[in-house]
Structure 1
Amino acid sequence: MNLRGLSRLFEVHALVVIERILLNRRLFVLFSLFSSLSLLIFIFYANKWFLNYHYTNYFMSAKQFSKTDNYSFINNNNAHGTDSYIKPYPVVVYNRIPKTGSTSLINLVYQLIEENCSHTHVIHLNISSNKHYLNRVNELYLIDNLTHWTSMHPLIIHGHFAYINFIKYGSLFNPIYINMIRNPLDRLVSYYYFLRYGDDYRPYLIRKRMFDIVTRNQTFDECVLVNGSDCSPQLLWVQVPFFCGQAAYCRIPGNPVAVETAKRRVIEDYLIVGLTEEFDKFVDLLEILLPSFFTGAHNLISRSKDKWHLRRTNYKLPISKATTKIYQDNPIWQAEQEFYNFVRTEFHTILNAIQGQFSHQPLSKFSALYKEKINFDKIRPKFGA
């Protein structure tokens, strides 16, 4: 092949190479355009899916609420727990007040643990010398233990102690508080005769007022007439300080500031505060609000109603109208009664809001009624409107 032929062959080869390069560039441009378009489509649908998920799937619709057994805004103690966005309450604190029916409630808890094969732990907190208050060091020690004692969760801790503020010590752990109170004068009269005659819960236990026959046989009315120490109006000051807390001003009988603090605690720090006089309704509300601890409570009480009023004083006389009037004129009684009336109003407000128009029916028969119909709508604002 001569030089001219080689030159021609080289030109043809070069044209082929250039054509391939141009073809590859066109393919590259097409590929780039396709990739960009695909990316835009992906971003569009991903954004649409995210908005859909965030505003629709994250919250259950009203229709879904009506089909589900667990209402996650109330029943966040769902034992299955897979669909709940609020974590179950790990610890419930019941700072129980003496002579308000607390023994009955704790025994109910133990029975429910057996019936439900629950892993709930129940611990009694007993402060030395039956004191109701802790100093700062012991308060901190208790909070530190409860915060890190996760192996004991779920846990119900109970005892006769005043409210403890966990957040004050910087603890991120904030337990659920519950409690139950009683008509203050009825509670004092019950405690008076309890010290003298005991109760049917531990009938053979010797109480401290049983040794002196004269003191033991003295009625509450007679005690009031002689200004006895066991019926002093100062002894009425129990329920307010249990809610007010560990501060010194909470212990001053009749202190109006303590009353206001106690009211605020009820509203802000307690899930529910029940009434001894309406024990069954209180238990029904606990089953609704804390199902992982109290599921089956209503049925259990219904099967053996008398069993759950365990601690009846063996002997007790009604007090006279004159005695009642003496207490009603006392500022300590007035403060305690004001707090009791406040709690009673709040309890009935919660109860009525759940029962609604079906207040004549037991709560247990209307499990669907306390599940409010809540809709979450996705509304896009119109700019410039």
Structure 2
Amino acid sequence: MKNFNSSALHSHSQSTNHIRERNSRKYSLLSVLPLRFSLRGYGFCMATLFLFCFGSLFYQLNGGPPKILLDIRQYLGGSTYLDDHGQPAPRVLPFPSQVIYNRVGKCGSRTVVILLRLLAEKHQFNLVSSDIHNKTRLTKHEQVDLMKNISSIPQPFLYTRHVHFLNFTRFKIEQPVYINIIRDPINRFLSNYFFRRFGDWRGEQNHLIRTPGMKDDERYLDINVCILENYPECSNPRVFYIIPYFCGQHPQCREPGVWALERAKQNVLENYLLVGILEELEDVLLLLERLLPHYFTGVLNIYKSPDYKKMGNMTGTVRKQTPTLEALQVLYHRMRYEYEFYNFVRDQFHLTKKKIGLKSVSKPPAYSNDFLQQLALRTPEPLDEDEELETDLEDANSWLVHP
């Protein structure tokens, strides 16, 4: 028994010595390496990696380097990011963050602008509403200046102005998202005609402020006389009004014809997120809330609220009259391109509602203009444009007030 125990102890001693010898070899091999690994070193490496990843994330989310990195570079005497690369790229938001509403005169634009002012405060986006109402066509230099100014607005923003479509990509500037609203062309024309003369419910003297130089014989000119006797305000190119807003800044966009019509349609399909129709305004607001929730969430509740109704009722044009059937027929014929565009936009709007599955809540229009197409034309063709009318084309907007 004594010999057995001695043997066991000897064996255990050899085993322990063997382990120590093996560990000694391992540490001797590690000692040959230039770096020694330890828990403290491992923790330092992980902490450094974490700080680098966090700093990189912070950099990307804020569109530039963290301030601490700039301070360190400045302290070390090196150049900053701005010195080497210029301004950092603008922050890219996960939704359309640049929206333009190139509102068409007398198409409910003041109603929408009032809503936008309330929404901007609620959702914290930048609303820039231009007070320029009578300059819709711009020179190339003016176009570039305006587009650069628009692009410099802090995002997210919504810019609104009475201006014909601007093609940002033509000047290698990022194209914003466009939205707009139009209405039945004859109703728009009548609303503008009487608004210029008698204003709206905001005040009896409102029209005198907008058209102070209008003489009484022009202010009280009968609408039927204006249409049937071819007064400039009621004939081409003055009544060719909606299409240029979508056609653009090209000079041919101001000429009533197929070219301007087709170009306007193309721009609607390629550059506009939504073009609604005023006759279905509640559906327009619902679609805007669905397509641009970060701008329009809750817009319909505001629109239906009693407080808003008090403000909205002040924008209606007063003393409007309906022309005779003959005058309407003549006007409709002069606006045949406007109506073709209006019908195109209305069909596209209804298609969008169907795709989204929106159940319409808007009331149908009080009457249809289809009956005008069936009437026999009893007046001469509207005047064609020629070189002598070029001056009239340039100042056409002086006849139309953009509220």
TM-score of the two chains, using structure 2 as the length reference: 0.63
**Pairing of 1:81-120 with structure 2 (within 5 A):** 87-114=94-121, 116=122, 118-120=123-125
Rounded to whole Å, the distance in 1 between the matches of 2:280 and 2:244 is 22
| Mapped contact 1:178–1:272 kept (Cα < 8 A) | yes
- How far 1:133 sits from its partner (Å)? 1.2
Correspondence for 2:129 among 124, 130, 136: 124
Structure 1 runs not aligned, ≥5 long = 1-15, 25-84, 363-385
Task: Tell me the residue number matched to 1:225.
Answer: 228
> Partner amino acid for 2:228?
L
Residues 360, 121 of structure 1: alpha-carbon distance in 2 compared, 3 angstrom cutoff: closer
Rounded to whole Å, the distance in 2 between the matches of 1:270 and 1:110 is 22
Asked if 1:329 corresponds to 2:333, the answer is: yes
Structure 2 runs not aligned, ≥5 long = 1-17, 27-91, 364-403
Rounded to whole Å, the distance in 1 between the matches of 2:161 and 2:93 is 28
Task: Tell me the residue number matched to 1:240.
Answer: 243
- How far 1:361 sits from its partner (Å)? 9.6
**Pairing of 1:236-385 with structure 2 (within 5 A):** 236-252=239-255, 254-304=256-306, 306-307=309-310, 308=312, 310-330=314-334, 333-355=335-357, 358-359=359-360
- How far 1:302 sits from its partner (Å)? 2.0
- Partner of 2:326, secondary structure, is helix
Task: Tell me the residue number matched to 1:133.
Answer: 137
- How far 1:138 sits from its partner (Å)? 1.6
Rounded to whole Å, the distance in 2 between the matches of 1:91 and 1:201 is 32
Moved over 6 A (4+): none
| Mapped contact 2:165–2:248 kept (Cα < 8 A) | yes
TM-score of the two chains, using structure 1 as the length reference: 0.65
| Mapped contact 1:140–1:169 kept (Cα < 8 A) | yes
Asked if 1:161 corresponds to 2:170, the answer is: no
Correspondence for 1:213 among 213, 216, 229: 216
The size of the alignment, in residue pairs, is 276
Rounded to whole Å, the distance in 2 between the matches of 1:347 and 1:318 is 27
Instruction: Let me know the Cα RMSD of the aligned residues.
Output: 2.8
Residues 329, 174 of structure 1: alpha-carbon distance in 2 compared, 3 angstrom cutoff: closer
| Mapped contact 1:91–1:156 kept (Cα < 8 A) | yes
- How far 1:216 sits from its partner (Å)? 2.1
Residues 138, 88 of structure 1: alpha-carbon distance in 2 compared, 3 angstrom cutoff: same
Residues 283, 310 of structure 1: alpha-carbon distance in 2 compared, 3 angstrom cutoff: farther
Rounded to whole Å, the distance in 2 between the matches of 1:348 and 1:201 is 33
Rounded to whole Å, the distance in 2 between the matches of 1:198 and 1:142 is 30
Percent of residue pairs identical:
32
Rounded to whole Å, the distance in 2 between the matches of 1:100 and 1:232 is 20
Rounded to whole Å, the distance in 1 between the matches of 2:361 and 2:193 is 36
| Mapped contact 2:150–2:159 kept (Cα < 8 A) | no
- How far 1:135 sits from its partner (Å)? 1.1
Residues 228, 202 of structure 1: alpha-carbon distance in 2 compared, 3 angstrom cutoff: same
- How far 1:223 sits from its partner (Å)? 1.6
Rounded to whole Å, the distance in 1 between the matches of 2:276 and 2:338 is 16
Structure 1 residues 210-255: Cα deviation after superposition (integer angstroms, max 9, x where no partner): 8533322222112223322222242221111110001111011x22
Structure 1 residues 305-358: Cα deviation after superposition (integer angstroms, max 9, x where no partner): 73435411111001111111112333xx111110000000101111122236x5
- How far 1:126 sits from its partner (Å)? 4.8
Residues 275, 359 of structure 1: alpha-carbon distance in 2 compared, 3 angstrom cutoff: closer
**Pairing of 1:24-39 with structure 2 (within 5 A):** none
- How far 1:87 sits from its partner (Å)? 1.6
Residues 226, 303 of structure 1: alpha-carbon distance in 2 compared, 3 angstrom cutoff: same
